Chain A
Amino acid sequence: MTDTQDAVSTVAVTVNGAEIQANPGELLIDACERTGTYIPRFCYHPRMSPVGMCRMCLVEVDTGRGPALQPSCMLPVTDGMTVDTESELTRKAQDGVLEFLLANHPLDCPVCDKGGECPLQDQTMAFGPGESRFIEEKRHYEKPIAISDTVYLDRERCILCDRCTRFADEVAGDTLIHFMDRGNNTQVNTFPDEPFASYFSGNTVQICPVGALTAKPYRFKARPWDLEENLSTAWTDSVGSRITVQSSRNKVLRVLGVDSESVNWGWLSDKERFAFEALNSVNRITQPMARADSGSDLASTGWAAAMSTIVDVLTDVDPARIGVIGGARLTNEAQYAWAKLAKGILGTDNVDAQLGDGLPAAVVLGLPRATIADACRPGGTIILAGPDPKEDLGALFLRLRHAVVNDGATLIELTPHRTGLSGIAAHSLHPRPGELGDLAAAVVAAGSGTASDAAGVAADAIAAAAASISGPVTVVLGRASLAESSAAIVDAATALNGLADVSFLSALRRGNVHGALDAGLAPGLLPGRTTLADGGEAFAEAWGSVPESTGLDTAGMLAAAAAGDIDVLVLLGADPLSDFPEAAAAEAGLAGAATVIAIDTLPNASLVAHADLVLPAAAATEVDGTFTNLEGRVSVCEQKVTPCGTARSDWMIAAQIAQRLGKDLGIESPAAARAELAALSAVHGDLTEAALAAAGVEGVLCSGNGSIAEPAGSGSVDPANDAYSLRLVATRRMYDAGTTLSHSPSSAGLARSIELRLNPADFDKLGVEAGSVVQLISNKGELMTPVIADPGVPAGSAAIPANSPGANANQLIDASQPVTDVRVERS
């Protein structure tokens, strides 16, 4: 080679007589695969560190010291290496390993869920000996054993590849399954009385190369050759994990993670993976329903009748007396259709996709934005000023964890209490609720030399955290506690924006909430990250008209409805009774609106109690469209099955309402909606059909702030401290009493009941046994809850889950206040 550039950038390796160019440091198994030579393997997984256990990938390699068998999954390429993947020695080794693996394998393929998509079957066919010489009795174990509520382990089928155990240890950090015993009795198992209770357990089922691990939702449901699949995007949170949705006979049976380099690396949280069960629920809304009068139950009706009612209630109403709450469930296209219907046709700006539990749009859209990859940059700093990603945004948690554990990213937590990342955080600072802004400002100030106590955190801890900031900084920003208004977070964001080389990754959790903001489903906003003030003129031209002034957010709409100032409330996949931080305000608002129209897939508390009219909506696997994740990345969701019953796509419902009102929404398909959005939006210009198709699993990143200006501080002052009370912290859990999970049979039982956690000092003052039931009292209400001590909760805070079965924190929260103070009383 004369070109030195070339010599440095690639390594020449001879594979089966032909020279290939490999990347320096690349593993031989990868270099071969990339250039068309597949080496069989079981234990190797490109997203985990190689362990060289199964020995299936042995190939004959000569690095100048004579040919020898080497595990290609452990061997980085070197210049001049000669490899023979088909030599007699290689074939003999492959035969040998497969024969060993099959010696004790039960060969119960006909009743095994993996049969038909089993790497062991496939590689035996491709590389193995035809027959086994093993005539001894095979190893026996009880089959299968439940290692968690969802996952079953058949130890007879297991080939001990260490993938599941490695995943649990390396990727999830939940070291709950491990090898036990020795030699031929080596087995994967849990520790006694400690189930594999991991939020990520489903990944082990997906990567198990045999049928040893199976998950309840799919067990004995289908044969792989009967499945059809589509590439899509997970809808239960805002990470936008890429998935494949698999169905048989028009029913979704399984969701698998797809490896997207920019997003989820193939991993999913169990919520993303198993939530499809809810869409198959017998409780799905299949028919429009209406209430004859406010006292009666909802009863089925037809679409025509339902539409007539809608036309009646929407005709001749002052637009300011109409409100639309929700929309994060919808595709980007449906969101755009609804934004156009509400703002362009109905003329109301009372539109809010968030339910008072998020952040102002200006904070999400107006700050310099980061991608997940930006946040995970080696050597960078991650400041978590938001919810616990392990609970809220599972796949993001895995990426952040990897960045900290493997790539030397520094994690600083500014959270109300310990999170699932605290164990690997360089600094965990827990401000007093309501004072996050002060803490953030103090960290920034300490970075320039002046450290002082702030928000109940000592100056030296703040100084140490500030000193550890290095490299590019990504702030993961979101609403950690529902009991704290967004004011402190807005202040924290504006303060942290003063750091050098800083950008922000939104941690708003709900489904396609970022798509909703981009589509303008927020008061004062228009599609494409622009405001009524900036974009009003252009959109008025495109749409005919736009509202004149900024409307109400969800809190405002509920208050207005309670005061009799709103006639029609549309709940677009929203359940304010469960999700709005203050239950009483939601109740008053829903009760106060003359007509509540709910458009949803499943019944929820608000719908059952207050909807006068219900329209069945098609669910995520039943519609075509796109999804925008927390980075602003747009990826495809493809329809896999037909909508349930008479359910219709949300965009179609919007178009039909417009038509019945005698208007034309001008949208006849998701693609048309997308094209219109791309044409009008300042940030969706790149979102062409060709770009989407070309982007494949990675999606199209729609970056930029559009015309949204950086937010100003909230201007709020710190809430006064009342020495007798504790300050409420209400955080989300992955498994809660939410609608989707309650309708997923495998996950419904996983939501834990309410539990109050207090700092040991506060707990000791109570003088009760751990687990005793106490009363938690605020000025809004009270809850009975068991109490335990938890050193991860700072003194002065009272931590409860936001939405536990039978106990919702919004019974206590005063959403009009920056914080909610509570008293704990022995009952």
Chain B
Amino acid sequence: MPTHDYIPHAAGYVDNDGPKIVTSRFPYEDSYTMERSEATGGYEGLRTALSRRPADVHTEVRDATVLGRGGAGFPAGVKWGFMPPGKFPYYLVVNGDESEPGTYKDRLLMERDPHQLIEGCLITCYALGLAQCFLYVRGEMALAQERIGQALNDAYARGYVGKNILGTDFSVDITLTWGAGAYIVGEETALIESLEGNRGMPRLKPPYFPAAIGLYGQPTIVNNVETLANLPWLMQNGADQYTTYGSETAPGTRMVAVSGHVKRPGVYEIEQGVTTFRDLFYGDNFCQGIREGHELKMFVPGGGSAPWFFPEQLDLPLEARAVGAAGSMLGSGALIVMDETTDAVKAALRLVRFYARESCGKCTPCREGTTWEERVLQRILDGEGRPSDIDMLLDIADNISPGPYPVAADPSQDLEAVPFPPKQTTICPLGPSSVAPITSTIRRFRHEYDAKITKRDTIPVSAAPMNAGAVS
């Protein structure tokens, strides 16, 4: 049995003795309560912010280069600057829909320290002159919803939220909403649609940011839970302090969720930009290595949508540019580690199936292509693959994401990395994400596919339709 070093009541979080910007209260059993929050400096960041001019608060965030933690890694301070002046009301939407395969750090932030998130929202609202904030929490996260609900009630009761916050003329309402269990509403424009009561399907770009046209057509900032959770600490300690952690391009810390074949999976707060994948997987303070007697085969470096990495990429730091140039992304900070017992084709199918099921159905290549890929992979695993299937899979992939797909270098085959991001024939990146497991595994482990494929070139069609459930 691997040693899973759980902290009581904070299952999944591992304290690694590093700097704690967002997880400082996690070790406390009652970390989510108002009492604990106030006893440990809760809402002090808000007080600091309120004592300053909104523009200065914004500047502080910009100076700290707080990168978005939702996936795209866009600096929050810069994004805030896209709000068209004077087109009130503005809205703040907090993206708590965390559903990227492998990712479970926002859930902990919401369950373990909801007040920190609320405080982050208030600081944002103050900086941008917002009076209404919507907290959108993934449908399945019942505990997070409950704790945020309680925390909001308490914060209203204590005058942190609502009219005339802390006696100032700053007023904000925060509304808690939850989804109905769709990955795609994590995409910010689909989330906005869902908030408006519509079916969660991404809107068309441009506009590229909801800052231009967002919720109810108004300028809207969408930020990830973790992004905002950074702000209370930042307000109290300042950008100078913040940037002493991490690297120049990726200051501060970030939460990463490691799962799979490591000795100690869990959520870690690490320094951005400096910690390497090797540190994380093998370090004593972190995952403590691959499970006993096994070795690393491959890993997903940034959530299910990221092209896969292999042992050669272990020494890269968790830094967006380096990882992007190497052919993948840090995405949502989820790492899935697979040892040599993992069947590459099965692993690919597992992720492809996720995207096929979660496609919103809006655009043809994603709606039809992802399911097609899934069914071909399943057929191969069922022993009914054809030699032509591999090239066909790559071509289907090319029709969803045209051109060379981002992939890691493979020195053994003398293949160079294709840098991130992929191109897309689709509206949002979900469709192209489904391609990552396929191109990653075919490039590396084509022999595993070959081994499963019959040498016949006839067409055995599997008996039951995959989506038999739809037959009525």
Interface readout for B359-380 with A: 1 if CB under 8 Å, 0 if not?
A: 1111111011111100110010
Is B465 among interface residues, defined by CB-CB distance under 8 A? yes
Determine which of B376, B398, B400, B471 lies in contact with A141 in the assembled complex, contact meaning CB atoms within 8 Å: B471
Determine which of B359, B376, B402 lies in contact with A183 in the assembled complex, contact meaning CB atoms within 8 Å: B359
In the assembled complex, the CB of A67 is this many whole angstroms from the nearest CB of chain B, namely 11
Residue of B nearest to A104 (CB): B368
Residues of chain B from 426 to 472 with CB closer than 8 A to chain A in the complex = 426-427, 459, 461-462, 464-472
Determine which of B399, B402, B459, B471 lies in contact with A100 in the assembled complex, contact meaning CB atoms within 8 Å: B399
Is A207 among interface residues, defined by CB-CB distance under 8 A? no
Is A89 among interface residues, defined by CB-CB distance under 8 A? yes
Residues of chain A from 112 to 149 with CB closer than 8 A to chain B in the complex = 133-142
Q: Contacts A93-B402, A184-B359 hold; do A138 and B465 have CB atoms under 8 A apart? A: yes
Residues of chain A from 26 to 64 with CB closer than 8 A to chain B in the complex = 50-56, 58
Residue of B nearest to A96 (CB): B399
Interface readout for A660-690 with B: 1 if CB under 8 Å, 0 if not?
A: 0000000000000000000000000000000
In the assembled complex, the CB of B341 is this many whole angstroms from the nearest CB of chain A, namely 29
Residue of B nearest to A178 (CB): B199
- B379 contacts across to A, CB distance below 8 A: 136
Is B392 among interface residues, defined by CB-CB distance under 8 A? yes
Is B173 among interface residues, defined by CB-CB distance under 8 A? no
Residue of A nearest to B391 (CB): A133
Instruction: Determine the distance from Cα of A92 to Cα of B397 in the docked complex, in whole angstroms.
Output: 12
In the assembled complex, the CB of A496 is this many whole angstroms from the nearest CB of chain B, namely 34
Q: Are B392 and A179 in contact (CB under 8 A)?
A: no
Instruction: Determine the distance from Cα of A133 to Cα of B469 in the docked complex, in whole angstroms.
Output: 24
Q: Are A135 and B199 in contact (CB under 8 A)?
A: no
- A650 contacts across to B, CB distance below 8 A: none
Is A97 among interface residues, defined by CB-CB distance under 8 A? yes
In the assembled complex, the CB of A62 is this many whole angstroms from the nearest CB of chain B, namely 14
Most buried by B among A89, A181, A185: A185
Q: Are B364 and A97 in contact (CB under 8 A)?
A: yes
Q: Are A182 and B426 in contact (CB under 8 A)?
A: no
- A185 contacts across to B, CB distance below 8 A: 361, 467, 469-470
Determine which of A134, A139, A178, A181 lies in contact with B465 in the assembled complex, contact meaning CB atoms within 8 Å: A139
Instruction: Determine the distance from Cα of A186 to Cα of B467 in the docked complex, in whole angstroms.
Output: 11
Q: Are A136 and B364 in contact (CB under 8 A)?
A: no
Q: Contacts A55-B426, A141-B472 hold; do A96 and B465 have CB atoms under 8 A apart? A: no
Q: Are B368 and A93 in contact (CB under 8 A)?
A: no
Instruction: Determine the distance from Cα of A665 to Cα of B466 in the docked complex, in whole angstroms.
Output: 75
Determine which of A54, A140, A183 lies in contact with B356 in the assembled complex, contact meaning CB atoms within 8 Å: A183
Q: Are A69 and B402 in contact (CB under 8 A)?
A: yes
- B357 contacts across to A, CB distance below 8 A: 182-183
- A50 contacts across to B, CB distance below 8 A: 204
Is B423 among interface residues, defined by CB-CB distance under 8 A? yes
In the assembled complex, the CB of B294 is this many whole angstroms from the nearest CB of chain A, namely 34
Is A424 among interface residues, defined by CB-CB distance under 8 A? no
Determine which of A103, A135, A141 lies in contact with B368 in the assembled complex, contact meaning CB atoms within 8 Å: A103
Q: Are B359 and A68 in contact (CB under 8 A)?
A: no
Determine which of B425, B466, B472 lies in contact with A55 in the assembled complex, contact meaning CB atoms within 8 Å: B425
In the assembled complex, the CB of B68 is this many whole angstroms from the nearest CB of chain A, namely 23
- A20 contacts across to B, CB distance below 8 A: none
Determine which of A51, A92, A140, A187 lies in contact with B399 in the assembled complex, contact meaning CB atoms within 8 Å: A92
Is B182 among interface residues, defined by CB-CB distance under 8 A? yes
Instruction: Determine the distance from Cα of A68 to Cα of B423 in the docked complex, in whole angstroms.
Output: 9
Q: Are B364 and A183 in contact (CB under 8 A)?
A: no
Residue of A nearest to B472 (CB): A142
- B398 contacts across to A, CB distance below 8 A: 92, 96
Residue of B nearest to A137 (CB): B465
In the assembled complex, the CB of A70 is this many whole angstroms from the nearest CB of chain B, namely 10
Instruction: Determine the distance from Cα of A136 to Cα of B467 in the docked complex, in whole angstroms.
Output: 11
In the assembled complex, the CB of A360 is this many whole angstroms from the nearest CB of chain B, namely 46
- B295 contacts across to A, CB distance below 8 A: none
Residue of A nearest to B366 (CB): A183
Q: Are B204 and A74 in contact (CB under 8 A)?
A: yes
Is B358 among interface residues, defined by CB-CB distance under 8 A? yes
- A93 contacts across to B, CB distance below 8 A: 399, 402, 425
In the assembled complex, the CB of B58 is this many whole angstroms from the nearest CB of chain A, namely 30
Residue of B nearest to A89 (CB): B402
Residue of B nearest to A74 (CB): B204
Residues of chain A from 184 to 215 with CB closer than 8 A to chain B in the complex = 184-187
In the assembled complex, the CB of B433 is this many whole angstroms from the nearest CB of chain A, namely 13
Is A101 among interface residues, defined by CB-CB distance under 8 A? yes
Residue of A nearest to B378 (CB): A136
Number of B residues with CB within 8 Å of any CB on chain A: 45
Interface readout for B402-436 with A: 1 if CB under 8 Å, 0 if not?
A: 10000000000000000000010111000000000
Determine which of B201, B358, B364, B464 lies in contact with A137 in the assembled complex, contact meaning CB atoms within 8 Å: B464
Q: Are B427 and A52 in contact (CB under 8 A)?
A: yes
Is A466 among interface residues, defined by CB-CB distance under 8 A? no
In the assembled complex, the CB of B323 is this many whole angstroms from the nearest CB of chain A, namely 23
Q: Are A181 and B466 in contact (CB under 8 A)?
A: no
Instruction: Determine the distance from Cα of A51 to Cα of B199 in the docked complex, in whole angstroms.
Output: 14
Q: Are B356 and A184 in contact (CB under 8 A)?
A: yes
Instruction: Determine the distance from Cα of A109 to Cα of B201 in the docked complex, in whole angstroms.
Output: 31
Q: Are A182 and B358 in contact (CB under 8 A)?
A: yes
Is A411 among interface residues, defined by CB-CB distance under 8 A? no
Q: Contacts A96-B425, A135-B459, A183-B356 hold; do A53 and B363 have CB atoms under 8 A apart? A: yes
In the assembled complex, the CB of A156 is this many whole angstroms from the nearest CB of chain B, namely 10
Most buried by A among B368, B462, B471: B368
Determine which of B359, B365, B459 lies in contact with A182 in the assembled complex, contact meaning CB atoms within 8 Å: B359
In the assembled complex, the CB of A252 is this many whole angstroms from the nearest CB of chain B, namely 36
- A89 contacts across to B, CB distance below 8 A: 402
Determine which of B356, B425, B459, B466 lies in contact with A69 in the assembled complex, contact meaning CB atoms within 8 Å: B425
In the assembled complex, the CB of B438 is this many whole angstroms from the nearest CB of chain A, namely 15
Q: Are A136 and B361 in contact (CB under 8 A)?
A: no
Instruction: Determine the distance from Cα of A184 to Cα of B431 in the docked complex, in whole angstroms.
Output: 12
Instruction: Determine the distance from Cα of A54 to Cα of B368 in the docked complex, in whole angstroms.
Output: 11
Q: Contacts A92-B399, A101-B368, A137-B464 hold; do A160 and B361 have CB atoms under 8 A apart? A: yes
Q: Are A54 and B364 in contact (CB under 8 A)?
A: yes
Is A159 among interface residues, defined by CB-CB distance under 8 A? yes
Instruction: Determine the distance from Cα of A96 to Cα of B10 in the docked complex, in whole angstroms.
Output: 48
- B466 contacts across to A, CB distance below 8 A: 136-137
Residue of B nearest to A135 (CB): B459
Residues of chain A from 605 to 640 with CB closer than 8 A to chain B in the complex = none
- A553 contacts across to B, CB distance below 8 A: none
Q: Contacts A141-B471, A184-B368 hold; do A97 and B465 have CB atoms under 8 A apart? A: no
Q: Are A69 and B423 in contact (CB under 8 A)?
A: yes
Q: Are B363 and A55 in contact (CB under 8 A)?
A: yes
In the assembled complex, the CB of A89 is this many whole angstroms from the nearest CB of chain B, namely 7
Instruction: Determine the distance from Cα of A769 to Cα of B107 in the docked complex, in whole angstroms.
Output: 51
Q: Are B199 and A159 in contact (CB under 8 A)?
A: no
Is A99 among interface residues, defined by CB-CB distance under 8 A? yes
Instruction: Determine the distance from Cα of A731 to Cα of B361 in the docked complex, in whole angstroms.
Output: 43
Instruction: Determine the distance from Cα of A95 to Cα of B399 in the docked complex, in whole angstroms.
Output: 9
Q: Are A54 and B360 in contact (CB under 8 A)?
A: no
Instruction: Determine the distance from Cα of A135 to Cα of B386 in the docked complex, in whole angstroms.
Output: 11
Interface readout for B329-350 with A: 1 if CB under 8 Å, 0 if not?
A: 0000000000000000000000
Most buried by B among A56, A74, A103: A103
Q: Are A182 and B182 in contact (CB under 8 A)?
A: yes
Q: Are A136 and B375 in contact (CB under 8 A)?
A: yes
Residue of A nearest to B392 (CB): A133
Q: Contacts A55-B365, A103-B368, A183-B370 hold; do A137 and B462 have CB atoms under 8 A apart? A: yes
26 CB-based A-B contacts, threshold 8 Å: A52-B363, A54-B363, A55-B364, A55-B425, A92-B398, A92-B402, A93-B425, A95-B399, A96-B425, A99-B399, A100-B369, A101-B364, A103-B368, A134-B372, A136-B462, A138-B465, A139-B465, A139-B467, A141-B471, A142-B471, A160-B367, A181-B470, A182-B359, A183-B356, A185-B361, A185-B467
Given A52-B427, A179-B201, 18 further pairs, Cβ under 8 A: A52-B204, A52-B363, A53-B427, A68-B423, A69-B402, A97-B399, A99-B399, A100-B365, A133-B392, A134-B372, A140-B468, A159-B364, A178-B199, A182-B182, A183-B356, A183-B358, A183-B361, A185-B361
